[in-house]
Amino acid sequence: MIEALQHVIAHVLRYEVFRIGPVVITSTVVTTWVAMALLLGLVYLLTRRGFEERPRGAQAFLEIVVEFFYGMAEQFMGREGRKYAWLYGGLFIAILFLNYAWMIPGAIPPTSDLMTPVALAVVAVPMTWVCAVRKKGVKGWLRHFILPSVALLPLNILEQLVRIFSLSVRLFGNMFGEEMVTMTLGTMLPLFGPLPIMALGLIFGAVQAYVFSVLTVSYLAEMVQGH
């Protein structure tokens, strides 16, 4: 039993694949490259015929996806949130494909490696600052940190850092836990054990991508429209 558990842990952890000079390329990076290549290929297939006035087929599907993203932001920002779909929508799609990387034979979802959720959070939260600066200017953005009182400046700055920590740890913890459960059941019951978990994994991966994106929208709404 202990040996089986050690095997599961070893399989989940990232490992070195090759080096480019002093740069170590890990299994997480390679899997991310593969997932992004598949995503780019899918985008090409869906858009290669262009767009028509009457949507059908792939175009109709893309419009449904876009409307889904619009609805995600409207509950926080109204119709203004639509112009930020490139940020939260892009994060949703990227995280979804990374979460589903377990379907690639021998691959582990990059989001079950803490470095990937941290990188995503480091992009998401600072980009809400960039959007706020573009909307309100540097002074308007800085003013956010001294309201409702200058005394709250340290806490407001700390809050932004906590958001990065919260986004990354939430995504990592959920995906790492799901992967551990799947691998453990696969070791103990190699024929049928993982199948229900893998089916739930499709839903679970989408939910985690949605939660990350919705939280990003809520942070964005506060930075752009708050105060």
- Cβ contact 154:201 at 8 Å: no
Q: What pLDDT does 18 receive?
A: 82
Cα 96 to Cα 56, 117, 155, 208, distances in angstroms: 24, 12, 32, 8
- Cβ contact 125:167 at 8 Å: yes
Give 79-92 as a DSSP string: GGGGGGHHHHHHHH
What's the CA gap between 18 and 26, in Å, rounded? Answer: 7
| pLDDT, tens digit (0-9, with 9 covering 90-100), for 47-86 | 777 666 676 677 778 888 888 888 888 888 888 888 888 8
- Cβ contact 170:211 at 8 Å: yes
| pLDDT, tens digit (0-9, with 9 covering 90-100), for 144-175 | 777 777 777 888 888 888 999 999 999 988 88
Residue 107's closest CA among 4, 209, 18, 11?
Answer: 11
| pLDDT, tens digit (0-9, with 9 covering 90-100), for 177-200 | 777 766 666 666 655 555 666 777
Listed by start position, the domains of the chain span 2-225
Q: What pLDDT does 1 receive?
A: 47
Say whether pLDDT at 213 is over 90. yes
pTM of the model: 0.83
CB burial of 152-173 (b: ≥16 within 10 Å; e: otherwise) equals: eeeeeeeebeebbeebbebbbe
Q: Is residue 226 helix, strand or coil?
A: coil
The residues near 206 (Cβ < 8 Å, ≥ 6 apart) are 96, 99
Q: What pLDDT does 173 receive?
A: 85
The residues near 143 (Cβ < 8 Å, ≥ 6 apart) are 136, 227
Structure tokens belonging to residue 118: 């941290």
